Amino acid sequence: MIKKFFTELSRVLAMHDIETAPPERNALPVLLNGQSACHVEPSGDMCIFPDDLRSPEAAELYHKVAPFSKEVREYLTAIERAPLLKATACRPSPRRNIPSMYSGMKSAGSLWHRECLKKQTALRIPCLPCS
């Protein structure tokens, strides 16, 4: 879970033009001009190590990263704790055409049933005919 958290937080921060470095000392370094400004712990808490930058820009970055860290921790925890969803039936409806977004499949048959089972198992969500 820690690796997933750091990976996801790094991705979210990169979308907002905030640099990070690979995790070290069980914390994710947040960089300002290539130097560590603060760190994010696996719990999502922010911390400042003794060798981190001390400047108004570093303090601003600290406060900018904190909400992202909290949000990522919340939704990863929710996903981790979510119960596995199970389809009660996975039979296609005879009157239902499969939407074109599903790789051009035109009819609901045994291929759809196999895809339904794969998605239900891998993604923890029910497929369209099962919902």
Which domain CATH number covers 52?
Answer: 3.30.310
pLDDT reading at 112 higher than 60: no
pLDDT reading at 128 higher than 60: no
Stated pTM of the model: 0.62
Region 119-123 average pLDDT? 53
| 8 and 40 in a common domain | yes
Q: Are 66 and 74 in contact (CB under 8 A)?
A: no
Kindly indicate the confidence band of residue 117, based on its pLDDT and cuts at 50, 70 and 90.
low
| 69 and 44 in a common domain | yes
Residue at a domain's end among 81, 96, 121: 81
Domain interval for residue 113: 85-131
| 9 and 69 in a common domain | yes
| 67 and 14 in a common domain | yes
pLDDT at 100: 45
Q: Which of 117, 42, 115 is nearest to 86 (CA)?
A: 117
Q: Read off the amino acid at residue 70.
A: K
* Each residue's pLDDT tens digit, 47-83: 999 999 999 999 999 999 999 999 999 989 888 888 8
* Each residue's pLDDT tens digit, 2-49: 889 999 999 999 999 999 999 988 999 999 999 999 999 999 999 999
Angle (deg, nearest 10), helices 56-81 and 2-15: 130
| 108 and 47 in a common domain | no
pLDDT at 108: 45
Kindly indicate the confidence band of residue 86, based on its pLDDT and cuts at 50, 70 and 90.
confident
| 72 and 10 in a common domain | yes
Give the SS3 label for residue 107: coil
Residue 59's alpha-carbon distances to 16, 40, 98, 99, 130, in angstroms, are 17, 14, 52, 49, 50
| 124 and 91 in a common domain | yes
pLDDT at 91: 62
| 72 and 101 in a common domain | no
| 30 and 6 in a common domain | yes
Q: Are 28 and 38 in contact (CB under 8 A)?
A: no
Count of structural domains, the chain: 2
| 114 and 52 in a common domain | no
| 65 and 6 in a common domain | yes
Q: Which of 125 and 39 is assigned the larger pLDDT? A: 39
| 69 and 11 in a common domain | yes
Q: Which of 21, 27, 22, 17 is nearest to 50 (CA)?
A: 27
